[in-house]
């Protein structure tokens, strides 16, 4: 959820999931675990399942925040994957955590869910946020599987082979882990260490390169979007602009002028 409240006040209630939020502006005041708390811009909210709490604006003109609710079994699964074995559930002793890294990870997860990002990107954002929360905000640090340098190169090569072969498909993190023979978290860490980017980012670069080739060949933008693996033309346009600094339409027009000039030149 992404919301702004000025007069609304939450009655005392609980959730059957972990609730992680980030206050974007204003002051969010609430009572939890027998004490009064306040979260201001950039602070992280961390509610355990079944934590009774309320909530209201702590000052004018209200507060804005983003929050995600993650079921306990999914949290356990993510942490077990990170440890490549069994893992218990974390406990957050303080409902307010001041940590910029946690805030960025949670905002990244919220954005991935809100925008309807591809499954691989959502999985990476989920794992990054949950592991960071458990590592920096929970009682006790989670065990994280280690990856040696030789292992990292081998895992990255296997993942890259899958992504290159199937870059237009919505390949899941579980499929990459299966191909590499390690956990999803270990695969992510290894690939990022070797390639300098997450598997989902690498996949997107492959899609952009293919889309650029198709557009240069005169393929309509909507068709180029579909054939290169983007959900629709708007997704292609957004990422094309972020990566190349121009829209696909502007690139097509520039490419078309170049071809025409080349044809007009004498042999």
Instruction: Work out the percent of the chain whose per-residue pLDDT is above 90.
Output: 69
Distance CA 18, CA 91 (A): 10
Predicted confidence (pLDDT) per residue in 194-222, tens digit: 998 899 999 999 999 999 999 999 999 99
Whether 49 is in a domain gets the answer yes
Please check whether residue 214 lies inside any domain of the structure: yes
133 and 184: one domain?
Answer: no
**Could you tell me if residue 224 is inside a domain?**
yes
CATH of the domain at 233: 1.10.10.60
Give 89-138 pLDDT, tens digit per residue.
999 989 999 999 999 999 999 999 998 888 999 999 999 999 999 998 89
Q: 133 vs 64, 101, 194, 265, CA distance in Å?
A: 21, 9, 25, 61
User: Has residue 44 been placed in a domain?
Assistant: yes
Residue 261 binned pLDDT confidence (cut-offs 50, 70, 90): very low
Q: 74: pLDDT confidence band, cut at 50, 70 and 90?
A: very high
CATH code of the domain in which 98 resides? 2.60.120.280
> Quick one: tokens of 228?
């290169």
| 143 within domain boundaries | no
Whether residues 239 and 123 fall in one domain: no
Range in 66-70, 84-88, 130-134, 190-194 with the lowest mean pLDDT: 84-88
Residue 221 tokens read as 């933008």
Structural domain boundaries enclosing 90: 2-137
Identify the pLDDT of residue 11: 87
- Answer yes or no: do 106 and 26 share one domain: yes
Query: pLDDT over 70 for what percent of the chain?
Result: 95
Domain boundary among 111, 137, 163: 137
- Asked whether residue 222 is assigned to any structural domain, the reply reads yes
- Residue that wins the pLDDT comparison between 261 and 66: 66
Whether 109 and 30 share a structural domain: yes
pTM of the model as a whole: 0.77
Shortest CA distance to 163 belongs to which of 146, 144, 188?
Answer: 188
Give me the DSSP letters along 194-252: HHSS-HHHHHHHHHHHHHHHHHHTT--HHHHHHHHT-SSHHHHHHHHHHHHSS-HHHHH
More confident of the two residues 18 and 116: 18
* 102 and 212 both lie in a single domain: no
Domain tally, the chain: 3
Q: At what angle do helices 248-264 and 199-216 cross, to 10 degrees?
A: 40
DSSP per residue over 120-180, as a string?
HHHHHHHHHHHHHHHHHHSSSPPP-----HHHHHHHHHHHHHHHHHSTTS---HHHHHHHH
pLDDT at 59: 92
Q: Is residue 78 a part of any domain in this protein?
A: yes
Burial (CB count <10 Å: 0-12, 13-18, 19+), residue 40: middle
> What pLDDT is recorded for position 139?
86
What pLDDT shows up at residue 255? 62
Q: How many whole angstroms separate alpha carbon 200 and alpha carbon 191?
A: 10
Specify the CATH number for the domain of residue 168. 1.10.10
Same domain membership, residue 14 and residue 37: yes
In angstroms, rounded to a whole number, what is the distance separating the alpha carbons of residues 45 and 113? 18
Beta bridge partners of residue 46, listed in sequence order: 20
Whether the predicted pLDDT of 257 surpasses 80: no
Calculate the dihedral angle through the C-alpha atoms of 76, 167, 204, 199, rounding to the nearest 10 degrees.
40
Residues 28 and 115 in one domain: yes
Of the candidates 116, 137, 158, which is a domain's last residue? Answer: 137
Phi, psi (rounded to 5 degrees) for 132: -65, -40
C-alpha dihedral, 83 to 85 to 86 to 88, nearest 10° = 10
Q: Does the structure show a pLDDT above 90 at 144? A: no
Q: Is 239 domain-assigned? A: yes
pLDDT tens for 35-46 read 999 999 999 999
Same domain, 180 and 102: no
Is the pLDDT confidence value at 34 over 70?
A: yes
pLDDT (tens digit per residue) in 1-11: 999 999 888 98
Q: Which of 16-30, 153-167, 234-248 has the lowest mean pLDDT?
A: 234-248
Are residues 61 and 21 part of one domain?
A: yes
Average pLDDT, the chain: 89
Say yes or no: 122 and 181 in one domain. no
161 and 125 in a common domain: no
pLDDT reported for residue 79? 93
Are 179 and 216 in the same domain?
no
User: Which residue, chain included where needed, has tokens 């209200």?
Assistant: 62
How many residues are there in the chain?
A: 267
Domain final residue, candidates 137, 158, 177: 137
């Amino acid at each position: 959820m992404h919301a702004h409240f000025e007069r609304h006040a939450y009655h005392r209630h609980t959730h059957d999931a972990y609730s992680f939020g980030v206050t974007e502006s204003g002051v969010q005041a609430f009572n939890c675990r027998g004490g009064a708390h306040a979260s201001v811009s950039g602070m992280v909210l961390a509610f355990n399942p079944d934590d009774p709490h309320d909530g209201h604006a702590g000052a004018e003109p209200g507060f804005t925040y983003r929050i995600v609710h993650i079921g306990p079994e999914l949290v356990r699964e993510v942490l077990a994957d990170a440890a490549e074995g069994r893992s218990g559930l974390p406990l957050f002793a303080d409902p307010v955590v001041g940590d910029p890294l946690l805030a960025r990870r949670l905002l990244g997860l919220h954005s991935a869910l809100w925008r309807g990002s591809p499954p691989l990107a959502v999985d990476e954002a989920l794992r990054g946020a949950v592991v960071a929360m458990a590592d920096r905000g929970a009682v006790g640090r989670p065990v994280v599987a280690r990856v040696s340098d030789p292992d990292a190169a081998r895992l990255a090569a296997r993942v890259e082979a899958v992504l290159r072969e199937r870059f237009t498909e919505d390949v899941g993190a579980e499929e990459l882990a299966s191909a590499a023979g390690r956990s999803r978290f270990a695969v992510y860490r290894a690939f990022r260490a070797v390639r300098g980017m997450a598997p989902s980012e690498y996949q997107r670069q492959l899609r952009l390169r293919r889309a650029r080739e198709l557009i240069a060949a005169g393929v309509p933008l909507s068709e180029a979007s579909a054939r290169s693996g983007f959900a629709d033309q708007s997704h292609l346009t957004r990422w094309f602009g972020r990566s190349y600094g121009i829209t696909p339409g502007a690139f097509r027009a520039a490419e078309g002028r170049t071809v025409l000039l080349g044809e007009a030149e004498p042999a």
